[in-house]
Amino acid sequence: MRRTPVDEATFAVPLWAWAAVGAVIAVMLAVDMLSHRDNHVIELREAVIWSVVWITAGLAFGLLVWAWRGPEPAVAYYSGYLLEKALSVDNVFVFALLFGYFRVPDEFQHKVLFWGVVGALAFRLVFIVTGAELLERLAWAGVVLGAFLVWTGWRLAVRGKPDVDPERNVAVRLFRRFVPTEPRHHGDRFVVRVAGRRRATLLLVALVAIEATDIVFAVDSVAAILAITGNTFLVWTATAFAVLGLRSLYFCLAGLLRHFGYLRYGLALLLAFAGLKLILAETPVGKVPVWLTLAVVVVTLSVSIGWSVVAARRERRRAGRADPA
């Protein structure tokens, strides 16, 4: 039997802990849904407040892990949380493109993202359990997964912005082929009855596109966090608390993404680093310390974000000098 990549963060998790986390997440989702049941447009101030709430919840859970199991599991959790949070920036860009393509009104975007997050949590849980089981049982799985992450990092560094074309999305094409759809929106409804037949609205098609696109992102992010720790509880909670704040992150950053042009290089480096971690775990070098992983994540994100902000300011100054008016 194969050892997990990070033995210090491996511990038995009682059923009550899983149930408690599930209950907390369900309550937080219910509160969020009730707070936005009127389908109002999310303004920047509200998005920032909710972002603070979700980030506080995620950081507070890490402190609970520290008090419960000690520093090593907590550091592994924080490393996974920061990595998933950073990788979510790509999701935000894609969501903005899809909302524009499907002409989703501003007041209905939160509803689409809410159900998209619910689906994202479910798919990620499946990926986490499956990935952890493969790493546990198959000695070569770590090398394959590591090589995949290195290739993904290289692809992200050279491809630029994500290539999103809903018309070529397999899930969207299959959905439209087998499910009768309406070519327009009907308020916030996903399904309507037209001429006695139930038909999916354009809002539901947009949700399918977002869900299908997120699955692709989930494969990368889950694999990267599994490189940090093989503990499914830590991977799941780090992923869940990061994904829960994805909606508010979208409304905060959707109009600011142009200021983070170099962040993708940092994300590419982190994916490649996670892949190398998995590969090294199968060599005499052995596992990379968890504290070093957290340090790499924090430094890489700080440098890439700072680089992006400085470059954006220089670009604005050059534009200002070029325009005498």
Q: What is the pLDDT of residues 15-72, one digit of tens each?
A: 999 999 999 999 988 888 888 778 787 877 888 888 888 899 999 999 999 999 888 8
pLDDT digits (tens, 9 = 90+) for 240-275: 998 888 888 788 766 555 566 677 787 788 778 777
Question: Residues of the chain with pLDDT > 70: what percent?
Answer: 84
Pairing of strands 197-200, 191-194: antiparallel
Residue 164's pLDDT is: 58
Would you kindly state where each structural domain of the chain is located, as residue ranges?
7-322
Higher pLDDT: 199 or 318? It is 199
> Which pTM was predicted?
0.75
Residue 75, both tokens = 């550091």
pLDDT digits (tens, 9 = 90+) for 134-165: 777 776 666 777 787 787 778 777 765 555 56
Burial of 246 (0-12, 13-18, 19+ CB in 10 A): buried
Q: Where are the alpha helices (DSSP H) in the chain?
A: 15-35, 44-69, 71-101, 106-137, 141-159, 170-178, 202-226, 232-244, 246-253, 263-280, 290-322
* Separation between Cα atoms, residue 13 and residue 19, nearest integer Å: 11
Confidence of residue 195 (pLDDT cuts 50, 70, 90): confident
Residue 6's pLDDT is: 40
Residue 48, both tokens = 């920032």
* Separation between Cα atoms, residue 162 and residue 299, nearest integer Å: 24
